[in-house]
Structure formats: C-alpha cells, structure tokens
Amino acid sequence: MKKINQYPSLVYPDEIIRLKNNLKQVANGNQFVI
C-alpha cells in the first residue's frame, strides 16, 4: 500500500482527503475500502 503523499500530483485534493479518510477507517477496523 503506497502512502498518500506518493500519489501522483494529478489526484484531486478531495480525492486525497477521501483516501486518507478510508485509511483512517481501515486503521480503526471499521471497514476496508480503498
């Protein structure tokens, strides 16, 4: 799993935020959706 800051710069900011939120939820064990 790549880190968020390794994603291409063409990824929209809201998409990065969504990915970070998904990673947080995975870390909390709530769900696994990437």
Residues 1-34: tens digit of each pLDDT: 556 566 566 667 888 888 888 888 777 776 555 5
Query: Phi, psi at residue 18, to the nearest 5°?
Result: -65, -40
* Angle ∠(28,33,34) on CA atoms, nearest 5: 105
Residue 32 makes CB contacts below 8 A (sequence gap 6+) with: 26
Return the pLDDT at 6.
Answer: 64
Q: Please state the φ and ψ torsions of residue 8, each to the nearest 5 degrees.
A: -60, 150
Q: pLDDT value at position 9?
A: 61
The span from the CA of 7 to the CA of 1, in Å, is 11
pLDDT of residue 33: 53
